[in-house]
């Protein structure tokens, strides 16, 4: 075994162990003994001069160094997989692991379409990371990212998924207790729930905030999770201002009522983004085409 082949074998063993968090689990995937997996990982740790896993009698966990090494190794293996796909006779058939980052709220609009995606592309293994943290698509090794807002990074390619609008909502119980606001000015006497952007700490202003200066003092809650805004609005804490796709199911079920006020246009946009420097592999191409065709099409 030459050094290059041996190094690749060690990386494969390490990555499988990191994803299984078990020497036994890794051994099943690799078709070798758990002892062989443990010895390979130990040799890799000795070569690198760092401990990659914390071991106990019951668990195997990545160290901080191990986590960084895993992210880089996973990207290398994904790139190799893409390279194989590009030169294989079946390159047109999308396959392989596809790492996608979405905001936490993204499950609301993507999850309903996952069964169809799997039916169309059964050989693509989606690895979805739902998080509101700002990810670096290149450094963090993602194949694609779905995000809203501006796209300043010239290293990225993007396509617009579609716009969405914000709506005012309250629960039937809240409206029964406090009345239905009939004008923007009347919102000054209501509990207006506030959303704080988790990345910047900035409060998301309502588009008519100047007309209701007292609303800030009447807010019983400020939080950095839009799902929480939806939940506490359903529970009757106050008036929520949220994306229409987030409120839709609760309005259909009758747990939220849309407040029928004429609002200034306040539109958000989601984009699907991928690195411009990376070959648009079949799995990325079909994912981008799929989400662009399915998401926010009613707007």
Higher pLDDT, 22 or 154: 22
Task: For residue 17, give both structure tokens.
Answer: 């162990």
User: What mean pLDDT comes out for the span 101-130?
Assistant: 93
The pLDDT of 279-286, averaged and rounded, is: 82
pLDDT the model gives residue 224: 87
- Average pLDDT value for residue range 246-256: 94
CB atoms within 10 A of CB 229: 26
Q: How much is the average pLDDT of 76-95?
A: 71
- Is 106 or 205 the better-scoring residue by pLDDT? 106
Percent of the chain with pLDDT over 70: 87
Report strand pairing: 267-275 vs 144-148: antiparallel
The tens digit of pLDDT for each residue in 47-74 reads 999 999 998 877 889 999 999 999 889 8
DSSP the chain: --HHHHHHHHHHHHHHHHHHTSHHHHHHHHTS-HHHHHHHHHHHHHHHTS--EEE-SS-EEE-HHHHHHHHHHHHHHHHHHHHHHHHSTTTTS--EEEEEEE-GGGHHHHGGGHHHHHHH-TTEEEEEEE--S---TTTTT-SEEEEES----TTEEEEEEEEEEEEEEE-HHHHHHH----STGGGGGS-B-EEB-TTT--B---TTGGG-GGGGGG-S-EES-HHHHHHHHHTTSSBEEEEHHHHHHHHHHTSSEE--------EEEEEEEEETTS---HHHHHHHHHHHHHTTTT-
pLDDT given for residue 132 in this prediction: 83
Q: What is the pLDDT of residue 217?
A: 45
Q: What is the mean pLDDT of the chain?
A: 84
Quick one: pLDDT at residue 210? Answer: 57
Residue 153 has pLDDT above 90, yes or no: no
Looking at per-residue pLDDT, the higher value among 15 and 157 belongs to: 15
| pLDDT greater than 70 at residue 123 | yes
Predicted confidence band at 262 (pLDDT cuts at 50, 70, 90)?
Answer: confident
- Could you give all domains of the chain from N- to C-terminal order, each with its CATH number? 3-69 (1.10.10.10), 95-299 (3.40.190.290)
């Amino acid at each position: 075994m030459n050094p290059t082949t041996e190094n690749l074998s060690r990386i494969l063993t390490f990555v499988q162990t990191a994803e299984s968090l078990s020497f036994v689990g890794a051994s099943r995937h690799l078709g070798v003994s758990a002892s062989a997996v443990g010895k390979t990982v130990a040799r890799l740790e000795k070569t690198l001069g760092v401990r990659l896993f914390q071991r106990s009698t019951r668990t195997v966990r990545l160290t901080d160094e191990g986590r960084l090494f895993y992210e880089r190794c996973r990207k290398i293996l994904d790139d190799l997989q893409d390279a194989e796909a590009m030169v294989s006779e079946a390159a047109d058939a999308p396959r392989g692991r596809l790492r996608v980052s979405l905001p936490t709220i993204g499950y609301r609009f993507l999850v309903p379409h996952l069964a169809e995606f799997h039916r169309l592309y059964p050989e693509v293994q989606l690895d979805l990371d739902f998080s509101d943290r700002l990810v670096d698509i290149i450094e963090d090794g993602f194949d694609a990212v779905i995000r809203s807002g501006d796209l300043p990074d010239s290293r990225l390619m993007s396509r617009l998924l579609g716009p969405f609008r914000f709506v005012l909502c309250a629960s039937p119980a809240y409206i029964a207790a406090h009345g239905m606001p009939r004008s923007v000015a009347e919102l000054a006497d209501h509990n207006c729930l506030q959303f704080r952007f988790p990345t910047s700490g900035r409060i998301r202003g309502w588009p008519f905030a100047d007309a209701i200066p007292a609303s800030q003092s009447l807010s019983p809650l400020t939080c950095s999770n839009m799902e929480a805004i939806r939940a506490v609005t359903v529970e009757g804490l106050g008036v929520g201002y949220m994306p229409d796709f987030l409120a839709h199911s609760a309005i259909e079920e009758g747990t939220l009522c849309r407040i029928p006020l004429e609002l200034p246009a306040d539109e958000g946009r989601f984009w699907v983004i991928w690195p411009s420097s990376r070959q648009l592999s079949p799995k990325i191409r079909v994912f981008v085409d799929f989400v662009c065709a399915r998401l926010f099409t009613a707007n």
